[in-house]
Structure 1
């Protein structure tokens, strides 16, 4: 899906993750309780999805209910993690600008 070069890079990154870390990531992705955040808390959030993200439809509903003040970026044509995986330098620049 990401091309041979990116797939190789991602595989090498996965080799560095322990089974315990994978379990923690999976648990965090599946067990959370969203709470309504204040406008100030929401202003500190940067949320980004690919247009082809598998859970975008469900997530949009949560955005409206729990994060109405967050300007969620939806990258046209990209899958989950696709934009920042393929445009790392540009993504880092965007994050640095957001943080400032």
Structure 2
């Protein structure tokens, strides 16, 4: 497992090294400019939303949840940053996602 983690970390590092400022601008634009529309209950039932308590955009996102996705059960991981829980508890996270998909 340690070797696999080491390989993954090296791969991620190499990917980060390739990102240009133009790439970052494009990612930020894609993540911050979209036209949200209210989702049907059927669409909401297919969503799994998860945030860390320390996620940089959690406060702003909570407003969107209430307005556009009021029936989605949003998971907020206490004490974790963005993607922190899934990185620290990968096995448990995968099991939760598999259960959700079923």
The two structures have a TM-score, normalised by structure 2, of 0.78
Correspondence list, 1:79-94, <5 A: 79-94=81-96
Bigger Rg, which one: 2
Q: Distance in 1 between matches of 2:13 and 2:42?
A: 35
Q: What's the offset of the Cα at 1:16?
A: 2.9
User: 24-33 or 53-62, which moves further after superposition?
Assistant: 24-33
Partner of 2:73: 71
DSSP-derived class of the 1:45 partner: coil
DSSP-derived class of the 1:54 partner: coil
Instruction: Tell me if 1:46 matches 2:48.
Output: yes
User: 26-35 or 39-48, which moves further after superposition?
Assistant: 26-35
DSSP-derived class of the 2:76 partner: strand
Q: Distance in 2 between matches of 1:53 and 1:27?
A: 18
Structure 1: runs of 5+ lacking an equivalent: none
Q: What's the offset of the Cα at 1:54?
A: 1.0
DSSP-derived class of the 1:12 partner: helix
The two structures have a TM-score, normalised by structure 1, of 0.80
